[in-house]
Amino acid sequence: MAKIANVGVGGKNPVRIMGILNTSPESFYKKSVNTSKTNIKNTVKLMENQGADFIDVGGMSTAPYLSTMISEKTESKRIIDAVKIIQNSTNLPISVDTCRAKVATDALEYGVEIINDISGLKYDEKMQEVVSKFSPSLILCAFSPKIAVGNPVILAKKLLRDSLQIAKKSNISNQKIVLDPAIGFFRKTGKGPFFTKIKSDWLERDLSILKSLSSIKQTFPILISVSNKSFIGKILGKENPKDRLFGSIAAETVSVMNGADIVRTHNVDATKDAITIASKLSTQHKGL
């Protein structure tokens, strides 16, 4: 069990929902992009009313198959502009999705409580000192800067342990950490620096991970982010992310039954219903 920004996660707590707010027009799921003040405010209020426990703000897309690198200054501005609006619209804890130390610093100085680093603190070496200084809650993703080989589940556990070591050196309590096995970020090829290169089949990798969440957890709560992702499109033959809602809900439901403690999603309303039912039927969440 952990406390992420003072919200209990894992153990006998309910499965939590993290609503995704993208401020990057380059993002793969265009429907999730919010750039105007009114849009951001309305979206956040709606997600809160639908049952979100956290808001996760991204200022730069990290989809491996897109060329989306922008300057730190632009990423920071997008995030801070959104954070100000969110803080005036809701008291929900805010997570910032970034791998870059300067962006994380700017966000933490504005009172953001969670850093969601899809590189597991490995992309920017200065992230360790930022985390040490501010002591935020952390979402750590499985990530390798080198080509990763081997059994996907064993590999994910190893990469997450490496990130946990970095967090430990930064004096972050285990009670403030959630693990993310990084669905969609293990690829043979990609256009940005934020994915892990593998030689094996990426679809099989993602499926094997989702089947093995209870093993990957170790003693930490686990977050899954499968909403509208490529593996769903690949299985269903649906290239457009907006056609993947039902597939997303199915994947989220199974993930909860396999042990997921937080679901990061574009579809808060539908996800809330799905995980409420999944929690009742799950042997992993007996306390609910």
H or E element at residue 2: strand 2-4
**How many CA within 13 A on the CB side of residue 165?**
8
Q: Would you give the distance in Å from CA 1 to the centre of its chain? A: 18
DSSP per-residue string spanning 268-283: HHHHHHHHHHHHHH-S
Structure letter (DSSP) for residue 224: E
Lowest mean pLDDT of 4-18, 62-76, 180-194, 250-264, name the range: 62-76
Task: Answer whether 285's CB lies under 8 Å from 256's CB.
Answer: yes
Interacting residues of 36 by C-beta distance below 8 A, sequence separation 6+:
none
> What domains sit in the chain, N to C, each tagged with a CATH number?
2-281 (3.20.20.20)
Q: Which pLDDT score is estimated for 15?
A: 97
pLDDT, tens only, 89-145? 999 999 999 999 999 999 999 999 999 999 999 999 999 999 999 999 999 999 999
pLDDT value of residue 288: 46
Q: Check residue 287 and give its pLDDT.
A: 45
What is the reported pLDDT for 30?
A: 47
pLDDT in tens, 195-232: 899 999 999 999 999 999 999 998 999 999 999 999 99
The confidence score (pLDDT) of residue 34 equals 58
Residue 188: pLDDT band by 50, 70, 90 thresholds? Answer: confident
Neighbours of 270 (CB within 10 A): 17
Closest C-alpha among 28, 14, 10, 24 to residue 57: 24
SS3 content of the chain, % helix, strand, coil (to 5): 45, 15, 40
Does residue 29 carry a pLDDT above 60? no
Query: Does the pLDDT of residue 259 top 80, yes or no?
Result: yes
pLDDT of residue 218: 86
Q: Which residues pair with 178 in a beta bridge?
A: 139
Look at residue 60 in the predicted model and tell me its pLDDT.
87
From 53-62, 267-276, 278-287, the region with the lowest mean pLDDT: 278-287
- CA–CA distance, 27 with 31 (Å, rounded to integer): 9
How many other C-beta atoms can be found within 10 angstroms of the C-beta atom of residue 150?
Answer: 11
Average pLDDT over residues 4-25: 92
Q: What is the mean pLDDT of the chain?
A: 91
Least confident window among 68-82, 169-183, 217-231? 68-82
pLDDT at 27: 55
pTM: 0.93
Average pLDDT on 67-89 reads: 89
Average pLDDT over residues 136-163: 96
In angstroms, the CA 91 to CA 103 distance is: 22
Residue 192 has pLDDT above 90, yes or no: no
